[in-house]
Amino acid sequence: MGSIGRQPTESAPLPPADEHIDFAAVAARYREEREKRLRVEGLNQYHSVEVAALKHYTEDKWSQPVSRAPVSETVDYVIVGAGFSGMILAVRLIQAGITNIRLIDKSGDFGGTWYWNRYPGAACDIEAYIYMPLLEETNYVPSEKYARGEELFAHSQRIGRTFGLYEKTLFQTEVAQLNWNEDTRRWDVSTHRGDRIQAQFITTAGGLLHKMKFPGVSGIDTFRGHSFHTSRWDYDYTGGDITGNLHKLANKRVGIIGTGATAIQVVPQVGRWAQHLHVFQRTPSSVDVRLDQPTDPAWAKSLRKGWHQHRMDNFNNLVAGAPVTEDLVADGWTNVLAKVAVNAKMVADAEAASDPIAAAQLIHQKMQTANYKKMDQIRKRVDAIVKDRATAEALKPWYNYMCKRPGFHNDYLPTFNQSNVTLVDTQGRGIDRVTEKGIVFDGTEYELDCIIYATGFEYLSNDYSQRLQLSIRGRNGITLEEHWKDGPRTLHGLYTRHLPNHFIMSITQTALAPNFQHLLNEQAKHIAFVVAETMRRGATTVETSQAAEDEWIRTIIRLGKLKEDFLRECTPSYYNDEGVISEKTLKTGRYGLGAPHFFQLLANWREKGTMAGLELDGKPVVPGVDLTDENIRVSGGSDSAKKEMAKTAGVEAVVRLL
Ligand code: NDP
């Protein structure tokens, strides 16, 4: 790829792992810490923001309300959500010739996550050169390796301007209902502003992490001080802006609840300004080095056509263990993921061995050893930075890498050396309650002027339409909740039976690339292809067949077993439904052979051009296609190996072991 190169990075390596780690002792500690955190309530332990007393936390602080007359129109396509997923889809549709599009979003501008999350210190921790979408199309190179929130938001606006999306978008508008109308063979879209829109196709692109959640403790609404959630930062109260300078906190006692990826970015900022900061921790995050650096202009100039896709592919292949000759991104993700997460190559290697079970055991052992070592390094980093021994001990994560979303920051751990910052380690229990004056843990009431909830968002296993806060009703009035009552049902994560012409952009039953934008781009390309092809063939509706949906779910569950034991042994988090693993967890999960494999599967499907598994105008496109065979074929490795894998009990055991 000509001069597409590796940008020089300042390296700040983790301390080396111990030569001799007592694996049995570490495993026992992992179990012990996990036990402390398991709760019978699982996902139901949190307060939903829909509780009346909490609803005010969701108010939009970034845009003034605008009034407008209701819209009544007919379009080809409605996209619900104008974050990166909705925007990428709009662009790919426009490129495929489908321009009569309407985007709808409840926020006041583009950006989704990056519209709402304007907390001080917000930044991406996947490299910006691969995380930011449509860079070549917008002729833009990010200003630094890990772009800050304001640059990410500005890029959303740039995409909006470049592709004329502002004229196509209804902001500050919440979709209330999506109803399939069998008479018109279109979707009736209604909004809380009284809009009535008919659309041939729709996509729900509502994002993954947008519906905030709160600790399931009493007293949140009784607190007399000030409080807010990180995704609605109150700069009127704190002073400053997304870059920091929170000067109004100088005489304030602040409590931050939560120590996830958001808190890691927020804590150094608040710690710099608050009179005193108490950080209430339930489980420590793994906090790795972040190789911050500005973009070298000479490097940016040297980039040639195709660099963006090439770099995204390089990262994606590398973290999934596919053979690559160079590591362009070279950061905390690429140095470890291929070693600790099961991937298609491992499965293929085990299958090809003369004794597949022994081979799988060996791979499993290697993977676990690499994981122990990585976490040992993460804990050593805490020791190297945090001076107070008790605080350092409390900040050490005791669980496998990737049980929780890994964090990356250079200022988080040093913040705990400041005399105005106190870690309140709740040892897995969480805070006991909120009072009028502050937060109570273990008999001590911490008096506070301000509480900041860094307690995250509802995730996949919470009902899809409830999470999107809208009702979706398909053919014969069947709702998405009814169809998904035993867990999600899709083909390729994109279409679901009874909801014709409806496409989903999410990560359920699809592959999760650590670089989420890469997945969104592949999904958008695929949807645009299917829609254009449906139109080209003169059909009005496209829908997955029942057989294809059934088969895809079987594939997802079967390959989900590759990760089941790993998830079961993990400390609770949203990655493993807070430790309560069921078949629904596997159904909600991802395609088990990884993102490169899944993207290839979609590309092969498009190339084949048969629209296998889909019905156009209610009729199978390829009559009599053997879908079982199709999906075994696409589920990994060579055709014959995969058939064997499905048939041979021994190889099923390999799947189990890995
Ligand atoms: P998380 O869900 O990751 O973290 C929530 C935090 O709140 C956890 O530390 C959790 O503890 C804690 N918590 C929950 N209940 C209690 C309680 N009762 N008492 C004390 N603590 C409690 O949310 P985040 O907003 O941090 O991150 C969400 C996601 O957003 C990330 O996983 C990541 O995918 C994304 N993100 C990405 C960034 C990027 O750079 N690309 C930056 C920031 C976020 P416990 O761990 O015990 O559950």
Verdict on whether the full-model pTM lies above 0.85 = yes
- pLDDT value of residue 354: 83
> Alpha-carbon distance 506 to 502, whole Å?
13
Domains of the chain as residue ranges with CATH? 72-210+459-657 (3.50.50.60), 212-283+415-453 (3.50.50.60)
Mean predicted lDDT score pLDDT of the chain: 90
Q: Which of 262, 267, 409 to mutate to test the pocket of ligand 1 (most atoms within 8 A of CB)?
A: 262
Could you tell me the distance, in angstroms and rounded to a whole number, from the CA of residue 594 to the centre of ligand 1? Answer: 24
- pLDDT value of residue 461: 57
- Two tokens, residue 53: 């007393």
Provide mean pLDDT across the span 618-636. 55
- Measured in degrees and rounded to the nearest 5, phi and psi for residue 492 equal 55, 20
Nearest to 520 by CA among 33, 66, 85: 85
How large is the C-alpha radius of gyration of the chain? 25
> Alpha-carbon distance 408 to 290, whole Å?
5
**All residues at 6 or more sequence positions from 377 whose CB lies less than 8 Å from its CB, including other chains:** 14, 15, 16, 17
Q: How does residue 12 score in pLDDT terms, banded at 50, 70 and 90?
A: low
pLDDT digits (tens, 9 = 90+) for 278-319: 999 999 999 999 988 999 999 999 999 999 999 999 999 998
State if residue 283 touches ligand 1 by the CB under 6 angstroms criterion: yes
- Two tokens, residue 448: 């506070």
Tell me which residue has its CA closest to atom 12 in ligand 1. Answer: 258
Confirm if 579 and 570 have CB atoms less than 8 A apart. Answer: yes
Find tokens 């002027």 and name the residue: 449
> Alpha-carbon distance 476 to 454, whole Å?
42
pLDDT digits (tens, 9 = 90+) for 355-392: 878 888 888 888 899 999 999 999 999 999 999 999 99
CA angle, 443 as apex, 439 and 445 as ends, to 5°?
30
- pLDDT value of residue 431: 98
Instruction: Decide: helix, strand or coil at residue 422.
Output: strand
Provide mean pLDDT across the span 192-204. 97
Provide mean pLDDT across the span 432-458. 97
Provide mean pLDDT across the span 524-551. 96
pLDDT digits (tens, 9 = 90+) for 124-163: 999 999 999 999 999 999 999 999 999 999 999 999 999 9
> Alpha-carbon distance 573 to 125, whole Å?
19
Q: How does residue 103 score in pLDDT terms, banded at 50, 70 and 90?
A: very high
- pLDDT value of residue 633: 41
Tell me which residue has its CA closest to atom 25 in ligand 1. Answer: 456
User: 341: which DSSP letter?
Assistant: S
- pLDDT value of residue 578: 87
Confirm if 420 and 52 have CB atoms less than 8 A apart. Answer: no
- pLDDT value of residue 603: 94
Neighbour-count burial for 353-390, b at 16+ CB within 10 Å, e otherwise:
eeebeebbeebbeebbebbbbbbbbbbbbbeebbeeee
Find tokens 């995380």 and name the residue: 131
> Alpha-carbon distance 548 to 568, whole Å?
29
Nearest to 178 by CA among 170, 190, 169: 190
Could you tell me the distance, in angstroms and rounded to a whole number, from the CA of residue 292 to the centre of ligand 1? Answer: 22
- pLDDT value of residue 84: 97
Find tokens 């003169």 and name the residue: 538
Tell me which residue has its CA closest to atom 3 in ligand 1. Answer: 260
Nearest to 465 by CA among 496, 510, 492, 511: 496
Provide mean pLDDT across the span 54-79. 96
Higher pLDDT: 537 or 337? It is 537
> Alpha-carbon distance 526 to 341, whole Å?
26
Q: Which of 33, 259, 403, 441 to mutate to test the pocket of ligand 1 (most atoms within 8 A of CB)?
A: 259
Instruction: Decide: helix, strand or coil at residue 364.
Output: helix
Provide mean pLDDT across the span 252-274. 98
> Alpha-carbon distance 368 to 342, whole Å?
10
Tell me which residue has its CA closest to atom 14 in ligand 1. Answer: 455
- Two tokens, residue 77: 């396509």
Could you tell me the distance, in angstroms and rounded to a whole number, from the CA of residue 386 to the centre of ligand 1? Answer: 21
